[in-house]
Amino acid sequence: MKKRELGQSGLFASEIGLGCMSLPTNNGEAQKIVDAAIDHGITYFDTADLYDKGENEVVVGHALKGKRHNILLATKVGNKWREDEAGWTWDSSSSYITKQVKESLTRLQTDYIDLYQLHGGTMEDNLEEAVDAFESLKKEGLIRAYGISSIRPNVVNRFLEKDQASSVMMQYSMLDRRPEEWFELIASHGASVVTRGSLAKGLLTAEAMKRVGDSKDYGEYSKELLLETLSKIGKHTEDLTGLALAFVLQHKQVAAIVAGASSEKQITSTIDAYHRSISTNDLEQVTNILRDDRYKEHRIKLG
């Protein structure tokens, strides 16, 4: 599997990464998925301290034990579980980030995190404080690079202006092209885009029509428009998953696609699709079918 650099960090991620949020809580089952991912060339694994109240990091740490030197490990911080565990609040303070990184390191059974990401953000945040915390953690050797996971362009822009971030994680797929407007801006700050949701909750897989039947809409697509659009795409390809992955990876600003998997079969299927060849002509033809939406909220003014 090919690799791409995360920004200017010197860290290279496999073009397909494993999004660990959907991993089973059973260590044995999770191990099979992680091992399958590694066997097929995946080196980039993404989790967060929010998932399963930290237990997802425990599962990931267990599954990667003995394999850490070959892995680019990413996690996230900023969402703070309430004491009653009924929900979470937002905390991007230096003290919270500094405290949480140590807890994540313990759960992940490692002494450093390759990519530490702010898991959201608002315009009210003191991003300078968060950046200072990340920079201090880099100097201590506890993290190697940092970034942000957010779909709010104004927050992303503020974060990029304040630091030397390596990545911005955004939801991006053929059915959600809103981030495209900001790709050049992100790249101009020396950062890369990492995508999630690139298979659009299964709407861009072999199960597309079943998923449409079970859904009401997706983003700006009504159920009717989804059916119409997927039907048109189907006239250009029988490999919807391969097309969806190739569509995202055609952009040089994208370093990796983070794909979730809850079974060995699911991650293997995604990797098989990644390796299938998709023509430039098919990509061009399909692009003309798709909506080209832009973020309506959280705007920034360019120039």
What is the H or E stretch that residue 180 is in? none
Q: How confident is the model at residue 123 (pLDDT cuts 50, 70, 90)?
A: confident
pLDDT digits (tens, 9 = 90+) for 92-108: 899 999 999 999 999 99
Q: Which residues on neighbouring strands pair with residue 24, listed in sequence order?
A: none
Provide the token pair at 94: 């230096």
What distances in angstroms separate CA 149 from CA 91, 110, 161, 162, 243, one per listed residue? 14, 22, 15, 16, 25
CATH superfamily, with its number, for domain 12-201+247-277: NADP-dependent oxidoreductase domain (3.20.20.100)
Reference 194, options 21, 38, 44; nearest CA is 44
Provide the token pair at 25: 């809580």
Active-site hit among 44, 51, 172, 221: 51
Q: How confident is the model at residue 301 (pLDDT cuts 50, 70, 90)?
A: low
pTM for the full model? 0.93
Q: Which residue has the higher pLDDT, 253 or 159?
A: 253
Sign (positive or negative) of CA dihedral 13, 17, 23, 27: negative
* Spatial contact of 3 and 15, defined as CB atoms under 8 Å apart: yes
Annotation marks residue 96 as catalytic = no
Cα–Cα dist 1/270, whole Å: 12
pLDDT digits (tens, 9 = 90+) for 35-63: 999 999 999 999 999 998 889 999 999 99
pLDDT digits (tens, 9 = 90+) for 171-194: 999 999 999 999 999 999 999 999
Residue where the block lists tokens 């900001």: 182
Reference 97, options 36, 154, 163; nearest CA is 163
Cα–Cα dist 77/48, whole Å: 7
pLDDT digits (tens, 9 = 90+) for 228-265: 999 999 888 889 999 999 999 999 999 999 999 999 99
Reference 51, options 17, 28, 74; nearest CA is 74
Tally of CA atoms within 13 A in the half-sphere of 173 that contains its CB:
23
Going from N- to C-terminal start, the domains of the chain cover: 12-201+247-277
